[in-house]
Amino acid sequence: MCCIPPQNRPVRLVSAVLVFTLVVALGVGATAPTATAADSSDSLAQRTAGDCSFPVTRTDATGTAVTLSERPERIATLSPSAAQTLWEIGARDRVVGVSEFAGYLDGAASLPVVNTASGGIQSERLVALDPDLVIAPGTISNETVATLRDQGLTVYAMDSPATIEGVADATTRLGRLTGECAGAAETNAWMRANVAAVREAVDDDPRPTALYVFSDGWTVGADTFISDVMTAAGTRNAVAGVVSGYARVSPEVVRERDPAWIVYNSRDGIPDAAAYRGTKAVQENRTVEVNVNYLNQPAPRSIVRTVRTIATAIHPAAVDESSYVPRSAVESANATATATATPTPTDRATTGGGPGFGVGTALVGVLFALLVARGRRR
């Protein structure tokens, strides 16, 4: 998953580039004015070009208005998904504390651990780090957040994303809070482009049922980001309508639903039980292993890797390296769009000045250049 191979690749290369271009043009430009109500005070430039001025105030998941008077230089994350997002948007060097399961991120293993599965939040260690901002996941209770605030910490509590777009919203919010708006917009463009490319690639294929199983029989309902990922990858959640949120699934349901595919993570595996051994998925060796660091974390890199891993396994004829949009393509397209989308005063008077018009025009030019270059290589 390193790059889009050059030369004689299938026509899906053109489709992937086209999807990517349209996603960036529409997602970064045309859809920017429809931000969430909590973010409505930001200008178009702040949401797309990285003009993240301070002070900034945002209402978090507890209903508390959190104000940052200046860009936070010391950030602590209490979940691996928040850490992964900060790594992606460009705030990695300002993270001073992480949770236990964030150690897979480059450089995170050397940072103090301030939240563990067995011991919970290490309050004394967290306070001693003197963070300007603490990012708490939706799995941490309001009472715990309040306790941390009573200790003098500035805590922003996140929601738990239930969809891929919920992950994009969380990324935008973290970008705004940390002064990395441009990095967040670029990260979301990369994520959306890859999701859209996979959706397009599998659109005409049959959608088999799939069951995600973890931690000895737990699964996910339709109202979770993991289920949304499975749908984007070209499957149907086998227990949609039966399970809500995250819940343990009974052996009877497994037998009744008899999923065509089973998705599992690299830590838990598939339960060694008769109900699972008897499924078509296990008997016909239709199982997909996904790295636990990605499948269970609602963050951009997780979305891209998991959607592609599942889709490549289940739809191998439709999804391959040619449908992948590398981060470098997003960076190149954004650089071109930024250079083109800053009109002179005369331009504003003659173009109509619709939000995102310059970005869309620039990216159409990028697409044209890519197509011309591909034609020359044939």
Rg (CA), the chain: 22
* Alpha helical stretches, state H, 29-117: 44-48, 80-89
pLDDT at 362: 40
pLDDT at 16: 52
Q: Are 54 and 71 in contact (CB under 8 A)?
A: yes
CATH code, residues 205-317: 3.40.50.1980
pLDDT at 376: 33
Instruction: Report the C-alpha gap between 261 and 58 in whole angstroms.
Output: 42
- Residue 332 pLDDT class (50, 70, 90 cuts): confident
Q: Are 159 and 138 in contact (CB under 8 A)?
A: yes
- Residue 103 pLDDT class (50, 70, 90 cuts): very high
- Give 249's DSSP letter: P
Query: Could you read off the pLDDT of 171-190 as tens digits, one per residue?
Result: 999 999 999 999 999 999 99
- Residue 170 pLDDT class (50, 70, 90 cuts): very high
Hey, what amino acid is at 249?
V
- Asked if residue 208 has pLDDT above 80, the reply is yes
Q: Apex CA 99: angle with CA 84 and CA 330, to 5°?
A: 5
For residue 321, which of 88, 12, 19 has the smallest C-alpha distance?
Answer: 12
Instruction: Report the C-alpha gap between 306 and 79 in whole angstroms.
Output: 19
pLDDT at 377: 34
**Crossing angle of helices 80-89/300-314, nearest 10°?**
100
Strands 133-136 and 75-77: what pairing? Answer: parallel
Q: Which helix (H) or strand (E) element contains residue 332?
A: helix 327-340
pLDDT at 9: 37
pLDDT at 354: 35
Both structure tokens of 160:
């738990």
Mean pLDDT of the chain: 83
Strands 261-265 and 287-290: what pairing? Answer: parallel
CATH 3.40.50.1980 in the chain: give the residue spans. 53-179, 205-317
Over range 271-281, report the average pLDDT: 97
pLDDT at 342: 53
Instruction: Report the C-alpha gap between 256 and 259 in whole angstroms.
Output: 9
- Asked if residue 303 has pLDDT above 70, the reply is yes
Sign of CA dihedral 69, 72, 77, 81: positive
Q: Apex CA 88: angle with CA 83 and CA 93, to 5°?
A: 65
- Does this model's pTM top 0.85? no
Q: Which residues of 231-252 are buried (b: 16+ CB within 10 A; e: fewer)?
A: bbbbbbbbbbebbeeeeebeee
CATH superfamily of this structure's domain 53-179: Nitrogenase molybdenum iron protein domain (3.40.50.1980)
Sign of CA dihedral 23, 29, 33, 36: positive
Strands 155-157 and 133-136: what pairing? Answer: parallel
For residue 84, which of 135, 125, 123, 132 has the smallest C-alpha distance?
Answer: 135
